[in-house]
Structure 1
Amino acid sequence: MDIKILIAEDDNIFRNLVCDIVRKEGYMPIEACDGEEAINMFFNNNDIDLVILDVMMPVYDGWEVLKEIREKSEVPIIMLTALGDEKHEVLGLKKGADDYIGKPFSYEIFVARLNNIVKKVKKKFSDEIAVGNLRIYQRNHKVVIDDEEIKLNPKEYNLLLYLIGNANTVLSREQILDKVWGYNFDGDIRTIDTHIKTLRAKLLEQGDCIKTIRGSGYMFEVEKYENN
């Protein structure tokens, strides 16, 4: 499995350094020199597994790029910046970053954090999930029913994955909101009901597996759950 990492950094020397580290660890770097290029490259490549994102970049800064990516994707993102104080670290994590590394950084710490996230990526994408006639190919977020691909948006996909990952377990709206939308979501909790309704419709007969547990939440009910 080739791990593709988008490295968005406007400092050529520093970007080359990070690319060299990434290559030495056996991964494939893709370079962007500003925020606009980072956004374009990310959305023009549907197989990027990890983003290393500098905060201080021209055109669009790292916060804007992070926001743009998070609206459509849950890809892991490491924020990399000289703004290494606690305030900016908390801000980055609240906005959806998975890790935050200040410059200058220790080579060993950077490699350890990089490999830690890549390990999670490999684990997440290594398996095909099979439930009845439903197949989920995690590498490319592809959902198939009876050999026909079902188009889901990122939230619907993550919702389905969370429900199936907890098959035959009742999940409260609060649990679903925390895991799929994030703890800092400040919208209406009933958005879950809307997404459940849409997901059921898209899954056709398989949608009947998503049960409403009155007064409690939802459950993906199956007789046999396999993870091949």
Structure 2
Amino acid sequence: MRANIIYFDEKIENHIKIQKAISDKFKATYYNDRDLLIKTLSKNQNVDLILIDDYAEKGNFFEFLNDLLIVIDKLQVGVILLSAEDNVENRVKSFDYGIDDFITRPVSTAELNARLENKVKKYRKPSALELKVGNLILNISDQKAYIDGEDKLLTPIEFKVLLTLVRSPNRLHSKDSLINSLWPGGAYGKSKSIDTHICNLRKKINTFNFSIKATKGRGISLIKERPVISV
């Protein structure tokens, strides 16, 4: 079966070049609209790999990259950045955000296809049914969270929020991105609701040796250090 690839580039003329370059081992879908891509991925992730050109006509490319990495399942979907600039700072920053590979143009057709195939093989391996971080175990199939062996009895929304944070520790997740991933297509009026879910989640996982940190006006992240509690 052919691997499903998404290619994103704001320059539509580059779509034709990629279409000619990638092998028939891949079935590619092409996007040039950021919002449409994020919306599509939040509803359906029948994709093995996402290839993104970092040309930023609209600016704020890394904000867009962060939103994309939040909405996808990074255990099952790979992300490769394609760039015309061999800029070390951008390369390092991209890997810090969580991409899997960075390809600099120009690149030969043979190398491009080899690197695509390499990442597809990685993400087509059966994903683990459990995630373990510190003293927490998340059972993905049953949507249960255990801390030191105790079932924390999370609601479906609380589990999804925690799973998102655990998959990308130390990454800042904006409230809007969380809302869009939890309620795709129906986020209106959910701002206060997500605050309530996060508050309840914090109380239930207060023995977890990671903590949920809120950055005012920006979002939340999962960090190793636990806050000091005065008594």
Superposition TM-score tier, normalisation by shorter sequence: 0.5 to 0.7
- The corresponding residue for 2:30 is 31
**1:6/1:42 contact within 8 Å kept:** no
Distance across 2 between alignment mates of 1:56 and 1:19: 18
Amino acid at match of 2:39: N
2:110 is matched with which residue? 108
Aligned residue for 1:5, secondary structure, equals strand
- Provide the residue aligned with 1:156 in structure 2: 162
Partner of 2:12: 12
When the two chains are superposed, the root-mean-square deviation of aligned CA atoms in Å is: 4.3
Secondary structure of the 1:6 match is strand
Q: TM-score, normalised by structure 2?
A: 0.55
Q: Is the 8 A contact 1:4 1:49 kept in 2?
A: yes
1:165-186 alpha-carbon deviations (Å, 9 max, x no partner): xxxxxxxxxxxxxx8447xx8x
Q: Which of these residues, 113, 120, 123, is aligned with residue 121 of structure 1?
A: 123
1:67-88 Cα deviation digits (max 9, x unpaired): 1122333242111111122222
Contact residue 83 and residue 103 of structure 2 kept, 8 A? yes
Quick one: structure 1 residues 199 and 52, their matched pair in 2 at CA, closer, same or farther if it must change by over 3 Å? farther
TM-score with structure 1 setting the length? 0.55
Change (3 A) 1:116 1:181: farther
Shift of residue 156 of structure 1? Answer: 2.8
Greater percentage in helix: 1
Displacement of 1:199? 9.6
Alignment partners' CA distance in 1, 2:39 and 2:203: 32
Gaps of 5+ in 2: 131-137, 146-154, 173-197, 210-231
Structure 1 residues not aligned, in runs of 5+: 162-178, 186-194, 202-206, 213-228
Alpha-carbon distance in structure 2 between the residues aligned to 1:52 and 1:79: 6
The answer on 1:59 being equivalent to 2:58 is yes
Distance 1:50 1:120 in 2: 10
**How do 1:124-203 and structure 2 match up within 5 A?**
124-125=126-127, 136=140, 143=143, 150-151=156-157, 156-157=162-163, 180-181=169-170, 198=201
Please report how far the alpha carbon of residue 154 of structure 1 lies from its aligned counterpart in structure 2 after TM superposition.
Answer: 5.5
The worse-fitting range, judged by mean Cα deviation, of 149-158 and 80-89 is 149-158
Report deviation, 1:151: 4.8
Larger RCO: 1 or 2 (CA < 8 Å, sep 6+): 2
Cα 1:155/1:211, change in 2 over 3 Å: closer
Residues 153-203 of structure 1 deviation map (CA, whole Å, 9 limit, x = unaligned): 566336788xxxxxxxxxxxxxxxxx8447xx8xxxxxxxxx9x94996xx
In structure 2, the CA distance between the partners of 1:3 and 1:135, relative to structure 1 (3 Å rule), is farther
Say whether residues 1:94 and 2:134 are aligned partners: no
